[in-house]
Amino acid sequence: MIQIGNVTIPGRISLSPMAGISDSPTRRICKKFGAAFSYTEFVNTDEIVHRAPKALKLFQFDPEERPITFQIFGNRLEIIAEAAEIIQELKPDIIDLNMGCSTRKVSLRGAGAGLLRRPAQAGKIIEAIKKRVNVPVTAKIRIGWDSQTRNYLEVAKQLEESGVDALTVHGRTKEMAYTGLADWDAIGEVKANARIPIFGNGDIKSFQEANAKIREYKVDGVLIGRNAIGNPWIFSENKKEELSWEKIYTVILEHLCWMIESFGEEFGLVLFRKHLVKYLSGLEFDSLWKAELLEIREFKRFEECLISHRTAKSLVSHS
């Protein structure tokens, strides 16, 4: 167990925040299979202070998801601090400042990874948030803006001195986005120099690899992002490639039902497609069947189509 401020994290492997992916149903299915905690998708603080319904809706969560971290991003200190105070009313366990988003529209205006270029300002933002809320405050960073400015130790030190309760380090620079390999030596360096909990993030492909990273780099925990999509079993010792088709389709249906509860039948099915593609990845099946599944917009038809293949030999065989 890990302590982040006054919050106990009941495990060491958790779900990373991902825009358009880590909604409440996805967090719930990952939690069911062992994710210790999770984050909301990041939300723009400018929209929060205007109490935009669409923005605030991203903070909806089921009690079973706790501990839950609300992640926010922005570039103006007063706005960020005010937004943190507003969302505290929604009862998060932790509030996290995103300092890792590499998309141009976020980072080039000084938010997300853009804050890596202004460590002192980032520290002031953490201090301002801490003054306005009574829950732990964390941040998620990258190792630098580009290969020439890998200032992760400076940023981590500044944030720790400013009172941040924990840090997650994604082992890539902003310029790398999601290319190349994550630098776990850099993550280990941050941990070796820190007195607060440090989580590592980047390229973890299995439960076994997650635990190996924790042991080798002495981090307090790890976050898994893209490799958890369509594979909530990654948070446990179960390997998707060793599961029967019956077990896989049961989880697909459970996840989809939660998506429909949250987003309605048609939109829930449409949003679920990106998860479904990943759930089916690594399985051998008829491509026409997959194409049909991805077009369906009614739950009953989807369920019938999915279950009709439960005895198909090709689906039980794994590539």
Active site residues: 101
Question: Are 174 and 140 in contact, with CB atoms under 8 Å apart?
Answer: no
- Count the alpha carbons within 13 Å of 275 in the hemisphere toward its beta carbon: 30
Instruction: Give the position of tokens 């990874």.
Output: 113
CA nearest to 62, candidates 13, 27, 87: 27
State which H helix or E strand residue 223 sits in. Answer: strand 221-224
Tokens of 77: 């200190």
Q: How far apart are CA 254 and CA 232, in angstroms?
A: 12
Residue 205 has a CB neighbour count (10 Å cut-off) of: 12
**Length, in residues, of the chain:** 319
Instruction: Give the position of tokens 């400013």.
Output: 162
Say which DSSP state 241 is in.
G
How would you class 312 by CB atoms within 10 Å of its CB: exposed for 0-12, middle for 13-18, buried for 19 or more? Answer: middle
How would you class 291 by CB atoms within 10 Å of its CB: exposed for 0-12, middle for 13-18, buried for 19 or more? Answer: exposed
Rounded alpha-carbon distances, angstroms, from residue 92 to 133, 163, 222: 11, 19, 20
Tokens of 235: 């948070």
Task: Establish whether the linkage from the previous residue to 67 is cis, with ω within 30° of 0.
Answer: yes
Amino acid at position 314, single letter: S
Instruction: Give the position of tokens 């992916």.
Output: 21
